[in-house]
A and B are shown apart, each in its own frame.
Chain A
Amino acid sequence: MVYLTRIEHFNAAHKLYNPDWSHEKNESVFGKCANENWHGHNYELVVTIKGNPDPSTGFIFDVKKLSVLIQKHIIEKLDHKNLNLDVDFMKNKMCSTENLAIAIWSELEPHLPINAQLHCIKLIETSRIYVEYFGE
């Protein structure tokens, strides 16, 4: 079993705001992340797949094809977008890094070939904050 990782990035606006709560409660729970007019980040997306290398190519999966899949299904939908307003798969969800990582897993996983399993979605929100999701 070998693990293969591809790193992509996107820049997006978002806010952490629960519409079922009062403005005051949102501010008390989410602090400055609740700013009504949004803020934003440079996100780094680290996608790791696992599998056994194909004897004829030596690849688990052609990493260029993995990059194209991530670009098409994830980056094109997220890059230079407002995560709360512009992204179909984040509608009615809280736009936390945790939820975004889970959603990226769900979007990407169906497009991988049978012999390559998704292992980890690591989503880096700032140089000091990141989450990892292993599909559990």
Chain B
Amino acid sequence: MNQKVAVYRKEHFNAAHRLHNNNWSNEKNISIFGKCNNPHYHGHNYELIVKVVGVPDSETGYVIDTKILSDIIKTQIINKFDHKNLNLDTIEFKQLNPTAENIAVTIYNLLRPHIDLNKEITITLYETERNFVQYPA
């Protein structure tokens, strides 16, 4: 067997955030980000799907052990973001606006060093049921 197979793991985290650009006036922030700019924050139930593509190992039959994948996601992502304020409580979004797009790219960059480079990974992040992003595009 040397066909590539995609393996997916779903996790979730609940967090507060606010969309705000420090270089802009309050008026401009409100005009661009609307209610997402609320200075007291708002929040979401984020659903995270990590896709790992590779050839199943000849000895185990696994692309990746999903328990190990789950542990990596929990350690690198969920423990950092769950029940946190993304703007205030995380190093990653001290300067970076925590849009769904930027969160997905950040999650990719946090996970990439922990998964073998011969496996491709793709991040899908649902901010709400209706709004979700994917990286790499």
User: Contact residues of A with B, CB < 8 Å?
Assistant: 9, 11-14, 32-33, 35, 37-42, 79-82, 85-86, 126-127
Write out the residue numbers on chain B whose beta carbons fall within 8 Å of the beta carbon of A33.
83
Residue of A nearest to B18 (CB): A13
CB distance from A26 to the nearest CB of B (A): 13
| B135 interface residue (CB < 8 Å to A) | no
Write out the residue numbers on chain B whose beta carbons fall within 8 Å of the beta carbon of A81.
38, 40, 42
| B44 interface residue (CB < 8 Å to A) | yes
**CB <8 Å contact, A82 and B84:** no
**CB <8 Å contact, A86 and B40:** yes
Q: Whole-angstrom distance between the alpha carbons of A79 and B43 in the complex?
A: 9
Q: Tell whether A37 pairs with B40 under 8 Å between CB atoms, given A32-B82, A32-B83, A42-B129.
A: no
Selected A-B contacts with CB under 8 Å, 11 pairs: A13-B40, A35-B83, A38-B85, A39-B84, A39-B85, A40-B15, A40-B16, A40-B42, A79-B42, A81-B38, A82-B42
Q: Whole-angstrom distance between the alpha carbons of A39 and B87 in the complex?
A: 11
**CB <8 Å contact, A41 and B43:** yes
Interface residues of B in 7-34 (CB under 8 A from A): 12, 14-17
Contacts beyond the supplied A42-B129, A82-B40: 13 A-B pairs with Cβ under 8 Å = A11-B128, A13-B43, A32-B82, A38-B41, A40-B16, A40-B42, A40-B43, A40-B44, A42-B44, A82-B16, A82-B38, A126-B14, A127-B12
Residue of B nearest to A42 (CB): B45
Write out the residue numbers on chain A whose beta carbons fall within 8 Å of the beta carbon of B128.
9, 11, 42
